[in-house]
Each structure stands twice: as structure tokens, then as C-alpha cells.
Amino acid sequence: MSTPAPGSDATATYLLGLADDALVTAQRLGWWVSRAPELEEDVALANIGLDQLGQARGLYTVVCDLEGAGRTEDDLAYLRDASDFRNVLLVERPQEDFAVCVVRMLLLAAWQSEVYAALASREGPARGVAAKAVKEVAYHLDHAAQWVLRLGDGTALSHERAQAALDAEWPFLAELLEPDPAAVAAGHPDPPSLREAVLARIVPVLTAATLVVPEQSTGQPTGQPTGGRRGHHTEHLTDLLAEMQQVARAHPGATW
Amino acid sequence: MSAEWPLWEVFVRARRGMSHVHVGSLHAPDAEMALRNARDVYTRRQEGVSLWVVPSSAVVASTPDLQGSFFEPAADKDYRHPTHYTVPEGVEHL
């Protein structure tokens, strides 16, 4: 194991958050397999989930190298408790409504597009992972946007449910754009600086979909759900991990 | 819901210079989504560089009833096949 370079702690912390976002998203998307409106959408959501899983694996590997403590990607995915996860709250809640699934994907992919683009544009241990992820999330963003347009500007019922999904998910966007000391310490853009670019990817889609954009709070949001990056999670993450980790924990050291 | 989504035929071009080949069909609510579904279902393993989707309803097909009159008259016209020529020695690609 190499000696960690200066600043590698902050980089590991920052990348761990991004990796956890992707892993939890992959697990939530897996729920849709066999449940999507059509077989074709099953395949699309599974593909997107697998993209996210691949991003998580790549980032975990980088984090393990930076730590130099001998942990593996499996240790990080399967042997940590909810309080050790650093994902944002947006991704951990159940998404058993198709409109919620695609609205959340729109918000997350818009943000990931900016984050991965920044990571890919400079030297760093995650540059390779991010360069591949940029193309993947561009497709996730497109897929989500296509569905938001069709649901929002579809029938009265689909519009109503898309608006309800947007109203439910929107408050969780604030956490993605909060100041992140780990990002800054690691030399990455502070999330608030990405705000305009992220909203520029989201708002035109919502407007074209005839959806009402919920009020955008300015400055430090108050009363918005937050805390995921510090390990403060909802009970939903505990439930998700119980299911995702049970096989690995029941058979310690098993390989597959 | 399934019954409301029309069927689309999918054609994939494997690489530049090849023609698009029919690979199967899928359901999608409209053309744009059909193209995306085709990408997910048929080209995730680098099978192609270009995709066409065509509404299945736009395909005009010969019917089994007409099979005899459509295809059988060709059976005894073997002069239509390039089988009676001798291939010059050493020619590999004709």
C-alpha cells in the first residue's frame, strides 16, 4: 500500500459521496426490473442502473487506493452501515412511482453531468472513471428528459402525477448544491458554483413539459432535507442496505 | 398500457459501408422513444453504428396465400442464377 498523498483524505471523502450516490441509485433502479410500464423500459432502467453501478465500482476502487488501508470495493458496498454512507437523501428514498423515478433521474443526471464533467476536465485519480461516466449520464439525462416531457405534457392524469413527483423530489435538489468542504479541500468545484449549470439542464425540460417549477430558494436553503453527506440518513437507506447487503453479510469472505 | 404502445421494426447497421439489417421489433409510445429503446435493447454490446426504427404498420408484406404465385415461378428458371459460368483460375472474389 502506498502512502496517501496530501489532500487524498478530502478526495477520498468527496469521491465516496459520489460513489454512494451511484450505488444507491443503482439499487433503487434495480427495483424496476419487471415492474416498468413495458419490457423495453425494464431494459432501459436496468441499463441505467448498471451504468451507475459501474461508476460506483470505479470510484470505490479509487477511494480504496487513496485510503491505502486495504479495503476493497466490496467492503465499502457491503460491510458499511447506513451511518457510514455519504449519499444524498435524494437517491435513497423508495421510488415506486414511475413519474418519481424519471423526475429524480432528471435531477440527479443533470447534477452528475456537471460533477463528472468537472472531474474529467482535470488531473486526478478519478479522471478516467469520470470521463466514461460523462457519456453515460448524458444518456440518463436524455432518457429522463424524454419521459418527463411525455408525462408532463401528456394526459391530465400523467401531468398531475408528474407535477406531484416534481413537488416531492424538488426539495431534495438543494442538498446536491450545498457547500461541500470535502469537495473544496480536494480541489473540486464547490457544489453551489454548479447551481446555474445544473438548473440550466433541468428547468427548460420542466418548462417544455408544462410543469410548474417549484420555488427556487436562493442562498442557503432552510428547512430543506439534508445531512446525507454527514451520514444522517432516513430509515429508507437502512432498509435498502439490509436487502442489498444480506447475502454478502451472511457469507463473509465469499467470492463470486 | 402495453396494448396502446405501437410496434416498431428495428434495423441496425453493423459498421460503415454495410446496409441496415432487420434485427427485431419492440414497443414504444413514439418514434423518439422507439429509437432510444432500440439503442437499449439491440445495441448495448456494440452491435451497430446506426439505427433505423420503422412503424410495423408501415411495412407492406407479402402474404402466405400468395406465396405460390409470388415465388414458385422462379423455380425452373435456373438461367437466372450465375451457375453456368466457369470461374477463371485464381479468381477468389467474383
Determine whether domain B2-76 maps to CATH 3.10.20.520: yes
pLDDT, one tens digit per residue, over B8-19 is 999 999 988 889
Of A190, A226, A224, A221, the residue nearest A86 (C-alpha) = A226
Question: pLDDT digit string (tens) for A26-63?
Answer: 999 999 999 998 899 999 999 999 999 999 999 999 99
Q: How far is CA A183 from CA A170, A191, A195, in A?
A: 23, 8, 15
Average pLDDT in the A86-109 region? 97
Strand partners, B8: B26, B55
Average pLDDT, chain A: 93
Judged against a pLDDT cut of 70, whether residue A101 lies above it is answered with: yes
B62 vs chain A: nearest CA distance in angstroms?
Answer: 28
Q: Is the pLDDT of residue A2 over 50?
A: no
| Residues of A with Cβ-Cβ distance to B5 under 8 angstroms | 38
CATH topology of domain A8-212+230-250: Ferritin (1.20.1260)
Is A146 close to B36, i.e. CB distance below 8 A? yes
A47 vs B contacts (CB less than 8 Å): 40, 44
Whether A4 has a pLDDT exceeding 70, the answer reads no
Output the pLDDT for position A97: 97
Task: Supply the pLDDT for residue A52.
Answer: 98
According to DSSP, the β-strands at B21-27 and B50-55 are unpaired
pLDDT tens digits, A63-95: 999 999 999 999 999 999 999 999 999 999 999
**Residue from A32, A33, A38, A105 whose CB has the most chain B CBs within 10 Å, to mutate:** A38
Residues of B in contact with A157 (CB under 8 A): none
pLDDT score recorded for residue B65:
82
Nearest CA in chain A to B6: A38
Strand partners, B9: B25, B54
DSSP chain A: -PPPPTTHHHHHHHHHHHHHHHHHHHHHHHTTTTTSSSHHHHHHHHHHHHHHHHHHHHHHHHHHHHHTSS--HHHHHHS--GGG----HHHHS---SHHHHHHHHHHHHHHHHHHHHHHHTS-STTHHHHHHHHHHHHHHHHHHHHHHHHHHTS-HHHHHHHHHHHHHHGGGHHHHTS--HHHHHTTPPPGGGGHHHHHHHHHHHHHHTTPPPPP---SS-SS----GGGT---HHHHHHHHHHHHHHHHSTT---
pLDDT of residue B91: 84
Express each pLDDT in A142-177 by its tens digit: 999 999 999 999 999 999 999 999 999 999 999 999
- What pLDDT score was predicted for residue A7? 66
Q: Tell me what pLDDT residue B3 has.
A: 59
The average pLDDT across A110-127 equals 95
Pairwise CB contact (< 8 Å): B44 & A44: no
- Are B41 and A142 an interchain contact pair (Cβ–Cβ within 8 Å)? no
Predicted confidence (pLDDT) per residue in A179-233, tens digit: 999 999 988 999 999 999 999 999 999 999 999 999 765 544 557 889 999 999 9
Nearest CB to B40; choose among A37, A44, A146: A44
Ranges of residues in chain B with a pLDDT under 50 are 1-2
The answer to whether the CB atoms of B41 and A43 lie below 8 A apart is yes
